[in-house]
């Protein structure tokens, strides 16, 4: 195994320290684990889905894992390299609220047109409900994906155009922070 494969170069380490909320030791540990689990240095969609299946064994996390994968895969190569993985993990686990909101908006904005439609929100929420299965007891006004999305849009869609802008999403998320905490696996759970 070459030197560049078994550990991060000093330049890579410095860049990641500057662009994430992880320190040098944490980055080295994450890299070691990533390379152990992904000897090729890349994680494909199927492998990523397997990780979610470990954390949600009683549900069907496949669709949600695909949506999260698409946000992690920043360069749209079809695989996640260590830099993409650790930068996304940094935002979702330790990022500032604004960063988490931007990340969550990217997740819900499936077609990447800068707005979240009712249908896009419904697709994500449906995938979350499938993933969590019966693990979570929900209030009656949120016990189906469509009821949950109806409630979200009632609270967030200020101009009633059936689309959420980033500003509407940010404002609405202040009233409902669970929107931002959508099924992302946290480092403490690994």
pLDDT tens for 26-59 read 999 999 999 998 999 999 999 999 988 988 888 9
pLDDT higher than threshold 70 for residue 185: no
Q: What is the mean pLDDT of residues 137-155?
A: 90
Identify the pLDDT of residue 188.
46
Provide the strand spans (E) within 19-178: 42-44, 79-81, 116-117, 163-164
Confidence of residue 181 (pLDDT cuts 50, 70, 90): confident
Query: pTM of the prediction?
Result: 0.86
User: Sign (positive/negative) of CA torsion 167, 170, 176, 181?
Assistant: positive
3 state DSSP class of 54: helix
DSSP annotation of 130 reads: H
Confidence of residue 176 (pLDDT cuts 50, 70, 90): confident
């Amino acid at each position: 195994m070459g030197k560049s494969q078994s550990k991060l170069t000093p330049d890579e380490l410095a860049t990641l320290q500057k662009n994430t909320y992880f320190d040098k030791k944490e980055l080295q540990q994450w890299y070691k684990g990533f390379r152990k689990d992904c000897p090729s240095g890349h994680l494909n969609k199927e492998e990523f889905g397997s990780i979610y299946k470990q954390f949600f064994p009683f549900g069907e996390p496949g669709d949600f894992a695909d949506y999260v994968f698409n946000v992690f895969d920043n360069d749209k190569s079809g695989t996640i390299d260590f830099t993409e993985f650790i930068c996304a993990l940094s935002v979702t686990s330790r990022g500032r609220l604004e960063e988490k909101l931007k990340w969550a908006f990217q997740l819900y904005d499936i077609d990447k047109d800068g707005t979240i439609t009712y249908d896009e929100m419904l697709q994500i929420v449906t995938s979350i409900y499938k993933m969590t299965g019966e693990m979570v007891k929900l209030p009656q006004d949120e016990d189906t994906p469509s009821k949950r999305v109806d409630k979200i849009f009632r609270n967030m869609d200020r101009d009633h155009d059936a689309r959420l802008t980033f500003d509407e999403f940010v404002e609405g998320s202040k009233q409902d922070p669970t929107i931002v905490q959508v099924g992302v696996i946290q480092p403490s759970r690994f």
